[in-house]
C-alpha cells in the first residue's frame, strides 16, 4: 500500500508540473526536456527532437524480437484557465492543458517507471511522446522524420481521458472509434453598397446565409443514412459595418467522417453548392478544403489485447469493449494507418464527480486518481504482448 501511494504521488507530481507550464504544438521545448530527463533517470535510452520536439525512449529487456510502442501527446491549448484556488493552475497566460495531455504523459511515464523496475517482459518498448496533436500535425511530423524507420514497432497503443465516462472505466472498440476532421474555408466576393441601396450591390451576406443552410442538406440528402458524417459551419466573417452591405464574406468550419469515400463526397457536394449559389447571384466563390485528421481505426487483434489488459487492471465489469464511436478527432489515427494498434478511452469522471468537466473547457482538469490505472494498463499491454 505504501508503495502504491508513493507511485501515485510521483505521477501526480509530474502531472501538476506539466499542467503549470503548458506549451502548444511544436513549442513543447520545456515539456519534452522534462519528459526526457525523467526517462533518462529511469535508465532508458532517450532520443530527442523527433519531428520537432518529439521524444522516443527505448527500454529493452531480454532477447525478444517484439517491439511495442506506447504513445502520449504533449501539447496544450490556447485557452485561459479558469481555476481560482487550483494550486497547480497554468502559469502561462492564455494557455492550459484543457485536454489532459499532461495526464497522458504522466501515465506513460508511469508505465515506463513500472516496467523499468519490474523488467518482467521480453522484448523492446518504445515510449513515444508526440508534439502537436491538437494541430493534427505531430504524428505526420514524427513519421516524416523517420520515426518508423529509426524506431520500428510491431504495434502501437494510446489512450485519451474522457469526461462523461466514470473514473476507473475503460472503453474501446474494433474499427472506427474517432472520426476524420477536414477543414473548409468559403470565400464569397460580392459588391458592397450602402445599406439603404441594396439594389446597387451583390449582397454576400444573403448568399452566405443561403450557403450555410444549403450545406446542411449534404449529410441529410447526399450521405447514406447508415453512415456517420457531420458538416459544421463555425465562423461567419464579413467586412461590412452597420450601415454598409459588405463586399466579402468568409465562412469557415469542419467536417467529420470515417471513410475516404465520404470525405470525397462531402468535399464535392460542398464545392458544387457553394459555386452554384454564388453563380446564381452573380458573386465570386473560392472553396478551400483540407484534410487535417485521419480517422482513428482500431485493429481487431490489438483491440482484443487492449480489452484483456484493461480487464486485468480494473475488472471485466469496468471495461466496455464496444463503445459507440465519437465524431471528435485524434492524431493517433495517422499511426494506425502505418502499424497495427489500438486507441482506448479511460474514464475521467461522470455526472457531478471530479473529472466530469468537458474537454477544451477553461475549468477542465485531469483526474489524478486515474493516473496509476493508465500506467498499469500500458504496462499490462507490454507484458501481454512481450511475455517472458
Q: What CATH number is given to the structural domain containing 41? A: 3.40.630.10
Q: Identify whether residues 95 and 158 lie together within a single domain.
A: yes
> Residue with C-alpha cell 475503460?
170
What is the span of the domain harbouring residue 273? 180-292
255-289: pLDDT as tens digits: 999 999 999 999 999 999 999 999 999 999 999 99
Q: Identify whether residues 43 and 123 lie together within a single domain.
A: yes
Total number of domains in the chain: 2
- The residues assigned a catalytic role are 75, 133
Q: Identify whether residues 77 and 106 lie together within a single domain.
A: yes
How far apart, in whole angstroms, are the C-alpha atoms of residue 298 and residue 197? 57
Q: Identify whether residues 313 and 262 lie together within a single domain.
A: no
Q: Where residue 198 sits, what CATH number does that domain have?
A: 3.30.70.360
How far apart, in whole angstroms, are the C-alpha atoms of residue 294 and residue 290? 11
- Where is the domain boundary, 250, 272, 292? 292
Band (pLDDT 50/70/90 cuts) for residue 1 is low
How far apart, in whole angstroms, are the C-alpha atoms of residue 240 and residue 237? 9
**Which residues have a Cβ under 8 Å from the Cβ of 239 and sit 6 or more positions away?**
192, 246, 247, 248
Q: Identify whether residues 326 and 354 lie together within a single domain.
A: yes
User: Is 101 assigned to a binding site?
Assistant: yes
Closest by Cα among 368, 320, 328 to 348:
368
**pTM attached to this predicted model:** 0.94
The set of cell numbers assigned to 11 is 505521477
Contact 193, 200 (CB under 8 A): yes
User: Is 134 assigned to a binding site?
Assistant: yes
User: Is 360 assigned to a binding site?
Assistant: yes
Closest by Cα among 361, 205, 227, 203 to 282:
203
Closest by Cα among 262, 260, 254 to 227:
262
Q: Identify whether residues 140 and 14 lie together within a single domain.
A: yes
- Where is the domain boundary, 254, 272, 292? 292
Instruction: Find the length of the chain.
Output: 388
User: Is 285 assigned to a binding site?
Assistant: no
Band (pLDDT 50/70/90 cuts) for residue 57 is very high
Contact 143, 334 (CB under 8 A): yes
Q: pLDDT at residue 159 above 90?
A: yes
User: Is 274 assigned to a binding site?
Assistant: no
Rounded to 5 degrees, φ, ψ at 56 are: -130, 130
193-248: pLDDT as tens digits: 999 999 999 999 999 999 999 999 999 999 999 999 999 999 999 999 999 999 99
Provide the CB-side half-sphere exposure for 32 (13 A, CA): 25
Amino acid at each position: 500500500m505504501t508503495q502504491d501511494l508513493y507511485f501515485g504521488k510521483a505521477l501526480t507530481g509530474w502531472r501538476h508540473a506539466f499542467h503549470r507550464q503548458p506549451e502548444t504544438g511544436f513549442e513543447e521545448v520545456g515539456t519534452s526536456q522534462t519528459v526526457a530527463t525523467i526517462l533518462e533517470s529511469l535508465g532508458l535510452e532517450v532520443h530527442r527532437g523527433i519531428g520537432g520536439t518529439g521524444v522516443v525512449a527505448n527500454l529493452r529487456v531480454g532477447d525478444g524480437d517484439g517491439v511495442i510502442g506506447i504513445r502520449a501527446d504533449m501539447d496544450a491549448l490556447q485557452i485561459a484557465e479558469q481555476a481560482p484556488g487550483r494550486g497547480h493552475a497554468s502559469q502561462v497566460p492564455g494557455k492550459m492543458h484543457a485536454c489532459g495531455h499532461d495526464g497522458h504523459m504522466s501515465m506513460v511515464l508511469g508505465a515506463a517507471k513500472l516496467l523499468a523496475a519490474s523488467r518482467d517482459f521480453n522484448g523492446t518498448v518504445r515510449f513515444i511522446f508526440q508534439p502537436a496533436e491538437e494541430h493534427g500535425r505531430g504524428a505526420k511530423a514524427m513519421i516524416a522524420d523517420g520515426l518508423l524507420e529509426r524506431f520500428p514497432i510491431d504495434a502501437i497503443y494510446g489512450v485519451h481521458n474522457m469526461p462523461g465516462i466514470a473514473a476507473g472505466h475503460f472503453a474501446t472498440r474494433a474499427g472506427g472509434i474517432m472520426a476524420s476532421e477536414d477543414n473548409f474555408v468559403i470565400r464569397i466576393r460580392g459588391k458592397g453598397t450602402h445599406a439603404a441601396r441594396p439594389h446597387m450591390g451583390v449582397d454576400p451576406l444573403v448568399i452566405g446565409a443561403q450557403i450555410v443552410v444549403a450545406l446542411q442538406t449534404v449529410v441529410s440528402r447526399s450521405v447514406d443514412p447508415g453512415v456517420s458524417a457531420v458538416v459544421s459551419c463555425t465562423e461567419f466573417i464579413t467586412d461590412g459595418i452597420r450601415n454598409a452591405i459588405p463586399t466579402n464574406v468568409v465562412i469557415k468550419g469542419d467536417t467529420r467522417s470515417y471513410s475516404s469515400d465520404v470525405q470525397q463526397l462531402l468535399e464535392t457536394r460542398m464545392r458544387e453548392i457553394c459555386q452554384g449559389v454564388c453563380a446564381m447571384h452573380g458573386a465570386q466563390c473560392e472553396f478551400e478544403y483540407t484534410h487535417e485528421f485521419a480517422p482513428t481505426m482500431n485493429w481487431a487483434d490489438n483491440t482484443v489485447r487492449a480489452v484483456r489488459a484493461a480487464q486485468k487492471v480494473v475488472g471485466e465489469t469496468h471495461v466496455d469493449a464496444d463503445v459507440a464511436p465519437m465524431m471528435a478527432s485524434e492524431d493517433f489515427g495517422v499511426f494506425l494507418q502505418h502499424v497495427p494498434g489500438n486507441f482506448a478511452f479511460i474514464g475521467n469522471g461522470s455526472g457531478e464527480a471530479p473529472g466530469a468537466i468537458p474537454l477544451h473547457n477553461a475549468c477542465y482538469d485531469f483526474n489524478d486518481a486515474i493516473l496509476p490505472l493508465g500506467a498499469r494498463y500500458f504496462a499490462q499491454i507490454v507484458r501481454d504482448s512481450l511475455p517472458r
